[in-house]
């Protein structure tokens, strides 16, 4: 018996039968939302609970450990985003070598036993089980034998191609925040605790910044300066964020530094979340602090113009 899998599944005790979908759902982008909308609709029609089974890390980290894949969202962020979509259950599982070795039949039997699975809602290219043996056709055959339905949902197309986590990573890597936002259906965000930095922003440049400590596996956009929204507790502030190696002072390690407009509080140790609205410019090397400070002033004014429209639009939509 797979002890960890059973322990994680048995933490959930659905009150009635469930319709489930399964996947990593990194980014919880519009393609994921399209699938989950079908799931919740069908669950409501059949008087089932809707559930999402997700994995705390990408299975490729176990199946192909040599392959490094930057993640768009932490498991905590994914759970929060999935719950906002109205699903009744979000079940995070640890993908281990033992789980990878399960046959499709074994895995769905676990889902039937512990989550009362009555049906699966999947995309056409979905597969589970050892060697990805449980493709759509195989699962439909298993469903007829074991008593569960399999609904195949056509993938969502957008921006001329399939909406996928890979597409989001590609647009993000180019710093194309407008397309990234369209694919996600929201602004791409970065979160982490505020840590100490060199404090050049405050003492040398006149623009105090907060340094966000990120997980090394976090996907980041192309280096540059971005108009951002900073969330401090329940408050949203306009901000300008530099992502890069600060070439003016000699290339250092890649950092995320946020200047929050009009904010003077102490953020050290607090969690800070920023939403990237638009890329302002590439990161550049300047002749010295004075030239850099003058450019930052221009960046702030440009960001104010962009973010004023963004916040006005959000207020109007709300």
**Averaged pLDDT for residues 18-41:** 97
Query: Does 1 have pLDDT greater than 60?
Result: no
Q: Is residue 164 part of a domain?
A: no
Residues 115 and 206 reside in one and the same domain = no
Residues 149 and 13 reside in one and the same domain = yes
- Average pLDDT, whole number, for the chain? 90
Predicted local distance difference test score (pLDDT) of residue 249? 66
252/144: higher pLDDT: 144
Predicted local distance difference test score (pLDDT) of residue 89? 97
Residues 154 and 278 reside in one and the same domain = no
Block residue for tokens 């440009």:
302
- How far is it, in rounded angstroms, from Cα 292 to Cα 285? 8
Instruction: State pLDDT tens for residues 255-314.
Output: 999 999 988 888 988 999 999 999 999 998 887 888 888 999 999 999 999 999 887 766
Query: What count of residues does the chain have?
Result: 318
What is the percent of the chain where pLDDT is above 90? 73
Per the structure, the count of domains in the chain is 2
Predicted local distance difference test score (pLDDT) of residue 250? 61
Residues 245 and 147 reside in one and the same domain = no
> Domain range spanning residue 106?
3-158
Block residue for tokens 């669950």:
43
Of 121, 140, 158, which residue sits at a domain end? 158
Of 141, 158, 175, which residue sits at a domain end? 158
Cβ-contact 252, 246 below 8 angstroms: yes
Q: Is residue 274 part of a domain?
A: yes
Residues 102 and 194 reside in one and the same domain = no
Predicted local distance difference test score (pLDDT) of residue 46? 96
Residue 114 — very low, low, confident or very high, per pLDDT cuts 50/70/90? Answer: very high
Predicted local distance difference test score (pLDDT) of residue 191? 94
Residues 146 and 193 reside in one and the same domain = no
Residue 248 — very low, low, confident or very high, per pLDDT cuts 50/70/90? Answer: low
Predicted local distance difference test score (pLDDT) of residue 123? 94
**Averaged pLDDT for residues 97-111:** 95
Residues 209 and 110 reside in one and the same domain = no
Residues 84 and 197 reside in one and the same domain = no
Residues 154 and 193 reside in one and the same domain = no
CATH number of residue 145's parent domain: 3.40.50.620
Residues 244 and 298 reside in one and the same domain = yes
Cα 47 to its chain centre, rounded Å, is 30
Cα 106 to its chain centre, rounded Å, is 29
Query: How many angstroms separate the first and last alpha carbons of the chain?
Result: 50
Q: Is residue 171 part of a domain?
A: no
Q: Is residue 176 part of a domain?
A: no
Residues 122 and 213 reside in one and the same domain = no
Predicted local distance difference test score (pLDDT) of residue 290? 85
Instruction: State pLDDT tens for residues 224-237.
Output: 999 999 998 888 99
Q: Which of 59-73, 118-132, 166-180 has the lowest mean pLDDT?
A: 59-73
254/119: higher pLDDT: 119
Of 109, 137, 158, which residue sits at a domain end? 158
CATH number of residue 256's parent domain: 2.40.30.30
* Rg over CA atoms, the chain: 22
SS (H, E, C) the chain: CCHHHHHHHHCCCCCCCEEEEECCCCCCCHHHHHHHHHHHHHHHHHCCEEEEEEECCCCHHHHCCCCCCCECCCHHHHHHHHHHCCCCEEEEECCCHHHHCCCHHHHHHHHHHHHCEEEEEECCCCEECHHHCEEHHHHHHHHHHHCCEEEECCCCEECCEECCHHHHHHHHHCCCHHHHHHHHCCCEEEEEEEECCCCHHHHCCCCCCEEECCCCCECCCCCEEEEEEEEECCEEEEEEEEEECCHHHCCCCCEEEEEECCCCCCCCCCEEEEEEEEEEECCCCCCCHHHHHHHHHHHHHHHHHHHHHHHHHHHHHC
Predicted local distance difference test score (pLDDT) of residue 34? 97
Of residues 126, 96, 128, 125, the one with CA closest to residue 111? 128
Instruction: State pLDDT tens for residues 52-85.
Output: 999 988 887 777 777 778 999 999 999 999 999 9
Of residues 258, 260, 270, 268, the one with CA closest to residue 236? 260
Predicted local distance difference test score (pLDDT) of residue 318? 41
Q: Is residue 177 part of a domain?
A: no
Q: Is residue 22 part of a domain?
A: yes
Q: Is residue 182 part of a domain?
A: no
Query: Does 37 have pLDDT greater than 80?
Result: yes
Residues 311 and 191 reside in one and the same domain = yes
Residue 202 — very low, low, confident or very high, per pLDDT cuts 50/70/90? Answer: very low
Q: Is residue 36 part of a domain?
A: yes
């Amino acid at each position: 018996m797979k002890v960890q899998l059973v322990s994680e599944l048995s933490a959930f005790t659905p009150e009635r039968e469930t319709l489930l979908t399964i996947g990593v759902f990194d980014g919880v982008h519009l393609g994921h939302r399209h699938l989950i909308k079908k799931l919740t609709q069908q669950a409501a029609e059949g008087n089932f609970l809707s559930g999402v089974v997700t994995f705390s890390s990408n299975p490729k980290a176990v199946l192909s450990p040599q392959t490094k894949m930057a993640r768009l969202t932490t498991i905590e962020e994914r759970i929060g985003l999935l719950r906002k979509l109205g699903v009744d259950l979000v079940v995070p599982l640890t993908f281990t070598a033992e789980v990878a070795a399960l046959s499709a039949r074994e895995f769905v039997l676990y889902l039937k036993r512990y989550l009362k699975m009555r049906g699966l809602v999947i995309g056409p290219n979905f597969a589970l089980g050892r060697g990805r043996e449980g493709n759509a056709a195989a699962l439909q055959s298993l469903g007829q034998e074991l008593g569960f339905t399999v609904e195949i949902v056509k993938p969502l197309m957008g921006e001329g191609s399939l909406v996928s986590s890979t597409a989001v990573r590609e647009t993000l890597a180019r710093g194309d925040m407008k397309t990234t936002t369209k694919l996600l259906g929201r602004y791409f965000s970065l979160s982490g605790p505020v840590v100490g930095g060199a404090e050049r922003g405050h003492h040398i440049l006149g623009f105090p910044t907060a340094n966000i400590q990120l997980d090394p596996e976090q996907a980041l956009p192309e280096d540059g300066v971005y108009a951002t929204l900073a969330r401090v507790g329940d408050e949203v502030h306009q901000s300008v964020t530099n992502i890069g190696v600060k070439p003016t002072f000699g290339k250092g390690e890649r950092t995320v530094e946020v200047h929050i407009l009009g904010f003077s509080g102490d953020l050290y140790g607090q969690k800070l979340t920023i939403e990237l609205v638009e890329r302002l410019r590439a990161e550049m090397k300047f002749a010295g602090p004075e030239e850099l400070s003058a450019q930052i002033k221009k960046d702030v004014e440009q960001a104010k113009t962009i973010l004023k429209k963004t916040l006005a639009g959000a207020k109007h939509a709300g």
